[in-house]
Amino acid sequence: MTLSFRPLLQLAALLALVNVTPLSADSLAGNYLAASQASYNNDFEAAARYYTLALADDPDNTGLMQNALLAFLSKGDLDQGLAIAQRMESLNADSQLAQLILLTDAIRKRDFAAANGFYEKGIKFSPLLDGLLQGWIYLGMGRMSDAIERFDALGGNRNMKIFSNYHKALALATVGDFEAAEKIMQGENGQPLRIGRGSLIAHIEMLSQLDRNDEALAIIKNALNGSGDLEIIDIQRRLQAGETLPYDFVTNASEGAAEVYLTLASVLAGDKNERFALIYGRLSEFLRPKSVAAILIVADLLNEQGQYDLAVRNFNKVPVDNPMFYSAEIGRAEALQANDQPDAAIEVLRGLSKTHKTIPTVFTSLGDALRRQSRFPEATEAYDAAIALLPEPQPNQWFLYYTRGITYEREGNWKAAEADFRFSLKLSPDQPLVLNYLGYGLVEKRIQLDEAQKMIEKAVELRPDDGYITDSLGWVLYRVGKFDEAVPYMERAVEQLPVDPIVNDHLGDVYWMVGRKLEAAFQWRRALSFAPEPADAERIRSKLEFGLDQVLKREAAESKAQ
């Protein structure tokens, strides 16, 4: 499913290993090294700039052109990328990426005969891409029978069948055969054909065109499941009013090709293949610049690759009056937060909470942003607002109650926190994060220790590689006086989280209790070296000076005096 673009990143990988960053790039070699390093770091703007400078010194170097092409495409400058691809074509360069951009440009210009000419010359990219893309090219040429035959040819491969069926259905709907298209969208064995949110909207529009609004409404009811998707809610309202929805999901072959690229981008993003997913996302934008679905997936991929400024630029493309504007603003806030601009992120979300007061996700995102900044009372208010908007809590909303439980606990309101944790488990039993947090809280309160131990043991069983959960189990065993049993868990927790000050501190306490006092002191010193909170650091120093027994005795006396 991926193209073999063969970007020249080996040197960049070597540079990253030795931590070399070119300080100046005033020569061909310097520009190339700077470009390679920028490309390795996904800094597409810098890579495009330096490859352009390198090409100025070596204008016929097709290897440089290939990498420059990849950089310009990734940053979203398709016009410049197209110019490079045309230059490579004139030099007879062997570049799949250049060929794909030229083919895509032909589709954009509705010159489907020229687009098909690439396949007639024997050019191939990947079986799935070729089959789907050529199917839409045939449709653009007016060869509907050939288009269906091309889609059906992919259906013989089990892994490709869902994609070929989906695009076959879209193609049939594009030419007005909604009955055949909807039959495909029904899927098999009672499971409708779904490839993301778009396929849901396409299916609803097909049903409405067939005067089957009641079936469309039933699909929406199952799909919403308590979410605040404004576009789907608006579609629901229109259907309830008896409106026949137009079929405008894909209306021509160019839009169909754009949906091909969007399909592949979604699949590759799910497979954590962000670099190639971004390429397909950009090509989808190239064909359909106003497609909010393409804009958002590209922005999300840029976020994943740490290109926050480019991500914000894409999120800003979504019009304010678009139903998905709130989703774009939430994504923009996440990009700002990841780019060390938490106050700006919170400002975006506060503004959104005033204009989109009915969407729980807006307030959940605001609560999360505030919680990350330790602004717990404000976060609790945001979570309260989100929960108040829920018509009826659903199992998939367990996380909202869990996060509000955290803010309650950090505010010192354990009673409310415990209630939220337990309700979260009622919605979705055996969630390891909740079991761990609740169990650890009970341990720290020194209450219900048997229940706490069972909870954390279950959490460890579910997530054995989570160092924090392993630490919790070791700590509950410490609290109930099972020091020897606690040792292996605490040692494993330190292996999993070697630089965490709290986990190292806990291991020191456990070592002390089993008589391994030199090792305890070593762990406490390690904990201090990892910059614990000031109060924790003071306590660790007291243990190093006086021993854990004396510290515990003093704390017990202070507690009794209170």
DSSP code per residue over 229-240: -HHHHHHHHHHH
Average confidence (pLDDT) over 139-166: 94
DSSP H helices in 155-304? 158-174, 178-185, 196-209, 213-224, 230-240, 253-270, 274-287, 292-304
Per-residue pLDDT reduced to its tens digit, 337-352: 999 999 999 999 999 9
**How far from chain centre, in Å, is Cα 8?**
27
Cα gap 229→325, rounded to integer Å: 11
∠ at Cα 24 (19, 26), nearest 5°? 135
Q: Distances from the Cα of 306 to the Cαs of 5, 57, 153, 274, 510, in angstroms?
A: 22, 30, 39, 11, 40
Q: What three-state secondary structure class fits 188?
A: strand
pLDDT at 151: 96
Number of residues that make up the chain = 562
**Tokens standing for 193?**
């054909």
Cα gap 374→406, rounded to integer Å: 11
Average confidence (pLDDT) over 324-334: 95
453 has pLDDT over 60: yes
285 has pLDDT over 90: yes
Q: Distances from the Cα of 107 to the Cαs of 139, 144, 334, 524, in angstroms?
A: 11, 16, 34, 65
131 has pLDDT over 80: yes
**How far from chain centre, in Å, is Cα 261?**
18
Instruction: Out of 145-149, 432-436, 447-451, pick the least confident.
Output: 447-451
27 has pLDDT over 90: no
Cβ–Cβ under 8 Å, residues 31 and 51: yes
Q: Indicate the helix (H) or strand (E) that contains 557.
A: helix 548-561
pLDDT at 375: 96
Neighbours of 169 (CB within 10 A): 26
Residue 76, classified by CB atoms within 10 Å of its CB into exposed (0-12), middle (13-18) or buried (19+), is: buried
Average confidence (pLDDT) over 453-480: 94
Residue 297, classified by CB atoms within 10 Å of its CB into exposed (0-12), middle (13-18) or buried (19+), is: buried
pLDDT at 26: 63
pLDDT at 513: 97
Q: Indicate the helix (H) or strand (E) that contains 156.
A: none
Average confidence (pLDDT) over 196-222: 94
Q: What three-state secondary structure class fits 462?
A: helix
Per-residue pLDDT reduced to its tens digit, 173-192: 999 999 999 999 999 888 89
**Tokens standing for 561?**
């005096």
Residue 226 pLDDT grade (very low, low, confident, very high; cuts 50, 70, 90): low
15 has pLDDT over 80: no
Residue 17 pLDDT grade (very low, low, confident, very high; cuts 50, 70, 90): very low
Cα gap 491→470, rounded to integer Å: 9
Average confidence (pLDDT) over 273-285: 93
Cα gap 67→529, rounded to integer Å: 43
Q: What is the CATH number assigned to the segment(s) 1-94?
A: 1.25.40
Average confidence (pLDDT) over 430-444: 93
229 has pLDDT over 90: no
pLDDT at 320: 94
pLDDT at 18: 32
pLDDT at 11: 34
Per-residue pLDDT reduced to its tens digit, 78-97: 999 999 999 999 999 989 99
Main-chain dihedrals φ then ψ at residue 191, nearest 5 degrees: -105, 110
Share of the chain above pLDDT 90, in %: 82
Cα gap 355→351, rounded to integer Å: 7
The model carries a pTM of 0.83
Residue 225 pLDDT grade (very low, low, confident, very high; cuts 50, 70, 90): low
Residue 21 pLDDT grade (very low, low, confident, very high; cuts 50, 70, 90): very low
DSSP H helices in 325-431? 325-338, 342-355, 360-372, 376-388, 398-411, 414-427
Cα gap 251→557, rounded to integer Å: 77
Nearest to 440 by CA among 420, 421, 426, 424: 421
Cα gap 312→353, rounded to integer Å: 19
**Tokens standing for 430?**
């055996």
Residue 4 pLDDT grade (very low, low, confident, very high; cuts 50, 70, 90): very low
Cα-Cα end-to-end distance for the chain: 67
